[in-house]
């Protein structure tokens, strides 16, 4: 245990810092890091080196080389730089490499050197060139800050949603600031810069001077500044050799340290653990590394090689040509267990487990001591927590064995934490492997989340490992294996050395019907890679037509899209394709396509009936569908034409179409309608009133109501209205006028073709019983009983029924016999029935 703490270095009385090796780098660098532009992504991310930058004197014929390595030094990509001079490199939160050029253009590359996109930081930056640049990370994404040759700042807080902000001008600034950085306060990005002894804070509206509280006197210049990983703290290195540390708001001082070195450092970064009270800054010079904090002494390391610092959430990564190390504050749990002469519960439990393996009775003594203090649960938790912060698997196992040993003596210790830690450490050890090269700590892993880690493995094309992790952690398929397989398929379609058939078959065999996998997304990627035929083959495996059709339309395979839409039975989808085809094809080809698809043609006709009537007419003309064309002209005569002449002309066209369709009935009916329209116009001119658009029956009725009986009779003769129908029309019209005298004359004009029962019914509807009785006497014997019942003469109706000996009529009369007055009539009917039965 004493040997284990040999690399612990105390900083004051409250904290220890240790530095251990992550990897022995084997990247065979031909140049020193100082001669390259360097960018390393946080959370154990990749390292980018731009060799032979323009600032170094090299022959003009030598092109710079951009190399991308994993954190363990494994090469990921290498490409000749063929664009303009680069000022700065940086990694986005999505592990995309941002290369800021001197002309203000930012080129974005993937992890494997594939070009993604580019964007410009504006015309002002282009005109004044870029002096310096910073890539920073906020809760909104990754941002870029630019210092131009005019000593003005421009920034964008999110390169994914580019919105450029030109920061206010610093008064009197004639040269580049000695140092500057980006701050994030109140969800807004700011620029903090140093000009001589003054500090300026630039926000979106103004430039203000700020003064660090408690700064040692005599400062004439700030040489370096560093903001913490969480943007909560700020460190300033002055020309007097003092390092001021405080909050990023510059309202509170944490401490100040005199390092007695006035030379400007190469790098200065924060090194602090989440939720730790100890705050420390790591400062690097050419051959020296210093850790300073709120203590009178510092921790110093000798740098044998040119090194580069990478700030992390819970420490600092330090890499050089030969090694990659991690410097961090020793976690509390580890400190309590491994500190010399520690009597913490976790330390005693670890000793007890070791003695137990030796079969020594001291194990029982240590356990009893812990149990007497009631700290066994705390001891197990300390060992589990400390195991998470250990980098060496042997120490992880030792601590977990101790925790498992202690759990055996606890009745109700929840196993979830122990099991979860074992799972997390297994995942961490897998990704820390030299060939994977992602040296995440436990704190970083929890902050990053397993989903982001899987995304990063997918970016590195480590699909088998990602799937193994998903299966080991039993993640839901949609979030785990399915998503990774979909990424693998998208990568597979980019392999242009494999035939379309082989790629499609391999993808289908691997994916099958895996839930959560969209073949249309994979097909879209194939189409984006220029493999249209492969995309079509992949779409055959997509079960959802709604996903197939949009991509087929995008690929200009509209006819295939129409077939798929029709197969789906989704009319909205068919309409979408039809409208696309209409805009894509000329009119003739569009109509020919529709003729080959009857369902689509039918749906398009329905659409045209409501939206495009002229197109509908063209469709009928092309198909020689004279029947529908005639119907179209009839509808058009009423919908579009207001003038009687135009309406008649449209009806004449419809009649001609019906004749061509050999539908003589429709043609004659249309001609009759034309005659009726002309007659109605003449009636309006001669008589006034409203006749247009009335039916033939309504026209006759209107004439009768207006007292124009002769005209009504003439109209009936002209249009061959049957006598029965004319009598009904005249009967209802005169009854509505209550012109009973004219109705009586009309009934006596000749024998009624409809009989006289309708007269009785119409009069009773008008509540005129007196007039109804006049006609009841004229009703024939077959309907006599019904007529008499309508006028309420039940006794006479009974006499007629008895005389006719009609059982149905007798029953009808009986149903109308109500009350005492009709009792005699009912008895009379019953006697008549009895006599009929005797006979």
Distance in angstroms (rounded) separating the CA atoms of residues 705 and 20 = 111
pLDDT at 666: 78
Q: What DSSP designation does 160 have?
A: G
pLDDT digits (tens, 9 = 90+) for 626-643: 676 776 666 767 765 567
E strands along 271-330, which residues? 280-284, 288-293, 299-302, 308-312, 315-319, 323-329
CA 641, CA 473: separation in Å to the nearest integer?
74
Bridge partners of 336? none
277-305 residue pLDDT tens: 889 999 999 999 999 999 999 999 999 99
Which pair of tokens denotes residue 745? 């004359």
Helices and strands: H and E segment counts in the chain: 33, 29
Q: What would the DSSP string read from start to end of 351-395?
A: HHHHHHHTT-THHHHHHHHHHHTT-HHHHHHHHHHHHHT--SHHH
Distance of CA 821 to the CA centre of its chain: 83
One-character DSSP codes across 378-438: HHHHHHHHHHHT--SHHHHHHHHHHHHHHHTT-SS--SHHHHHHHHHHHHHHHHTSTTT--
What b/e string do you get for 729-746 counting C-beta neighbours within 10 Å, with b at 16 or more? bbbbbbbeeebbebbeeb
Structure tokens given for 387: 């195991």
> What pLDDT was estimated at residue 837?
62
The DSSP line for 702-748 is HHHHTT-HHHHHHHHHHTT--HHHHHHHHHHHHHHHT-HHHHHHHHH
Q: Measured in whole angstroms, how far is the alpha carbon of residue 265 from the centre of its chain? A: 47
Q: What is the pLDDT of residue 54?
A: 61
What's the Cα-to-Cα distance from 572 to each of 433, 499, 597, 644, 670, rounded to whole Å?
A: 53, 36, 16, 39, 36
Terminal alpha carbon distance of the chain: 133
Cβ-based neighbours of 511, under 8 Å, separated by 6 or more: 485, 486, 489, 517, 519, 541
Q: What is the CA radius of gyration of the chain?
A: 48
pLDDT at 786 over 90: no
Could you give the CA distance from residue 663 to residue 305 in angstroms, rounded to a whole number? 101
Return the pLDDT at 567: 72
Residue 590 backbone dihedrals phi, psi, to 5 degrees: -65, -45
Work out the average pLDDT over 397-409: 94
Nearest to 553 by CA among 534, 530, 590, 579: 579
How many whole angstroms separate alpha carbon 805 and alpha carbon 138? 105
Residue in 266, 242, 246 with CA at minimum distance from that of residue 254:
246
Q: Is the pLDDT of residue 1 over 50?
A: no
- SS3 assignment, position 212: coil
Closest CA to 378 of 411, 408, 413: 413
Residue 9, strand partner residues: 17
CB of 673 closer than 8 Å to CB of 666: no
> What's the pLDDT at 472?
94
Which residues lie closer than 8 Å to 175 by C-beta, 6 or more apart?
151
For 391-414, what is the mean pLDDT? 93
Ranges 573-587, 610-624, 766-780: which has the least confidence: 610-624
Measured between alpha carbons, how far is 55 from 79 in angstroms, rounded to an integer? 19
Cβ contacts of 293 within 8 Å, gap of 6 or more: 11, 12, 15, 245, 255, 257, 278, 279, 280, 281
Lowest mean pLDDT among 365-369, 379-383, 631-635: 631-635
669-700 per-position pLDDT tens digit: 777 777 777 777 777 777 777 777 677 777 77
**φ, ψ dihedrals at 29, nearest 5°:** -70, 135
Least confident of 156-165, 342-351, 525-534, 683-692: 683-692
Cβ contacts of residue 358 below 8 Å, gap of 6+? none
Report the length, in residues, of the chain: 839
What token pair was written down for 214?
A: 């408690």
Q: pTM, whole model, 2 decimals?
A: 0.72
Q: What is the mean pLDDT of residues 208-216?
A: 92
Average pLDDT, the chain: 84
Region 442-452: what's the mean pLDDT? 94
Q: How far is Cα 541 from Cα 99, in angstroms, rounded to an integer?
A: 40
Q: Which residues pair with 319 in a beta bridge?
A: 308, 324
| Across 483-489, average pLDDT | 86
H helical segments located in 408-544:
416-431, 442-448, 450-459, 463-473, 481-492, 500-511, 519-528, 532-539
Give the residue, 723 or 227, on which the prediction is more confident. Answer: 227
Does position 562 have pLDDT exceeding 90, yes or no?
Answer: no
CA distance 566 to 651: 36
Q: Which two tokens stand for residue 744?
A: 């009586």
pLDDT for res 622: 63
Question: Comparing 400 with 681, which gets the higher pLDDT?
Answer: 400
Is pLDDT at 754 greater than 70 in this prediction? yes
What is the spatial distance between Cα 237 and Cα 9, in angstroms, rounded to a whole number? 23
């Amino acid at each position: 245990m004493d040997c284990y703490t040999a690399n612990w270095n105390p900083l004051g009385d409250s904290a220890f810092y240790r530095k251990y090796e992550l990897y022995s780098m084997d990247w065979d660098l031909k140049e020193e890091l100082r001669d390259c532009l360097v960018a390393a992504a946080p959370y154990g991310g990749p390292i980018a080196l731009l060799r032979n930058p323009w600032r170094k004197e090299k022959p003009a014929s030598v092109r710079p080389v951009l190399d991308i390595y994993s954190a363990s030094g494994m090469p990921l990509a290498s490409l000749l730089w063929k664009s303009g001079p680069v000022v700065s490199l940086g990694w986005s939160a999505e592990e995309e490499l941002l290369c800021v050029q001197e002309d203000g253009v930012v080129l974005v590359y993937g992890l494997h050197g594939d070009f993604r996109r580019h964007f410009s930081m504006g015309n002002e930056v282009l005109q004044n060139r870029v002096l310096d640049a910073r890539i920073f990370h906020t809760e909104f994404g990754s941002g870029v800050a630019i210092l131009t040759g005019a000593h003005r700042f421009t920034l964008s807080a999110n390169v994914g949603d580019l919105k450029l902000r030109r920061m206010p001008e610093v008064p009197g600034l004639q040269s580049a600031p000695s140092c500057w950085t980006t701050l994030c306060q109140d969800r807004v990005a700011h620029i903090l810069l140093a000009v001589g002894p003054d500090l300026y804070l630039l926000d979106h509206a103004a430039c203000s001077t700020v003064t660090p509280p408690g700064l040692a006197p005599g400062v004439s210049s700030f040489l370096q500044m560093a903001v913490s990983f969480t943007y909560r703290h700020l460190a300033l290195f002055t020309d007097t050799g003092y390092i001021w540390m405080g909050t990023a708001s510059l309202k509170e001082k944490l401490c100040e340290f005199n390092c007695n070195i006035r030379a400007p450092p190469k790098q200065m970064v924060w090194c602090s653990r989440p939720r730790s009270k100890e705050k420390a800054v790591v400062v690097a010079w050419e051959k020296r590394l210093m850790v300073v904090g709120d203590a009178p002494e510092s921790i110093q390391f000798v740098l044998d090689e040119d090194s580069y610092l990478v700030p992390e959430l819970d420490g600092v990564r330090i890499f050089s040509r030969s090694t990659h190390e991690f410097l961090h504050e020793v976690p509390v749990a580890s400190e309590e267990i491994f500190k010399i002469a520690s009597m913490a519960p976790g330390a005693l439990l670890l000793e007890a487990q070791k003695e137990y393996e030796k079969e020594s009775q001291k194990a029982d003594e240590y356990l009893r001591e812990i149990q007497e203090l009631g700290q066994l649960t705390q001891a197990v938790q300390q060992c589990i927590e400390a195991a998470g912060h250990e980098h060496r698997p042997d120490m992880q196992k030792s601590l977990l064995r101790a925790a498992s040993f202690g759990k055996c003596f606890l009745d109700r210790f929840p196993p979830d934490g122990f099991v979860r830690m074992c799972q997390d450490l297994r995942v961490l050890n897998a990704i820390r492997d030299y060939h994977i090269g992602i040296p995440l700590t436990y704190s970083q892993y929890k902050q990053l989340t397993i989903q982001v880690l899987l995304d990063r493995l997918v970016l590195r094309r480590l699909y088998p490992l990602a799937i193994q992790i998903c299966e080991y952690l039993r993640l839901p398929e949609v979030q785990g294996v399915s998503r990774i397989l979909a990424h693998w398929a998208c990568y597979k379609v980019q392999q242009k050395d494999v035939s379309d058939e082989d790629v499609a078959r391999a993808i289908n065999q691997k994916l099958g019907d895996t839930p959560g996998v969209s073949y249309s997304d994979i097909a879209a990627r194939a189409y984006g890679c220029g493999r249209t035929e492969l995309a079509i083959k992949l779409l055959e495996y997509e079960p959802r037509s709604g996903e197939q059709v949009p991509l087929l339309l995008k690929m200009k395979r509209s006819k295939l899209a129409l077939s798929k839409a029709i197969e789906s039975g989704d009319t909205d989808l068919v309409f979408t394709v039809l409208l696309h085809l209409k805009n894509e094809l000329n009119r003739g080809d569009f109509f020919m396509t529709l003729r080959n698809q009857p369902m689509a043609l039918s749906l398009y006709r329905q659409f045209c009936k409501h939206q495009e009537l002229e197109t509908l007419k063209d469709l009928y003309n092309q198909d020689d569908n004279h029947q529908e064309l005639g119907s179209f002209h009839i509808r058009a005569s009423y919908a579009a034409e207001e003038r009687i002449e135009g309406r008649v002309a449209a009806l004449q066209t419809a009649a001609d179409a019906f004749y061509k369709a050999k539908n003589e009935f429709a043609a004659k009916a249309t001609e009759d309608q034309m005659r009726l329209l002309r007659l109605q116009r003449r009636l309006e001119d001669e008589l006034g009133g409203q006749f247009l658009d009335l039916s033939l029956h309504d026209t006759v009725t209107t004439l009768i109501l207006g007292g124009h009986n002769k005209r009504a009779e003439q109209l009936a003769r002209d249009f061959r209205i049957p006598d029965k129908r004319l009598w009904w029309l005249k009967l209802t019209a005169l009854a509505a006028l209550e012109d009973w005298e004219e109705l009586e004359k009309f009934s006596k004009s000749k024998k009624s073709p409809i009989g006289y029962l309708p007269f009785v019914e119409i009069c009773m509807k008008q509540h005129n019983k007196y007039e109804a009785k006049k006609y009841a006497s004229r009703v024939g014997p077959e309907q006599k009983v019904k007529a008499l019942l309508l006028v309420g003469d039940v006794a006479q109706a009974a006499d007629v029924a008895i005389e006719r000996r009609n059982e149905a009529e007798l029953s009808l009369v009986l149903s109308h016999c109500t009350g005492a007055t009709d009792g005699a009539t009912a008895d009379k009917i019953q006697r008549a029935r009895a006599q009929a039965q005797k006979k």
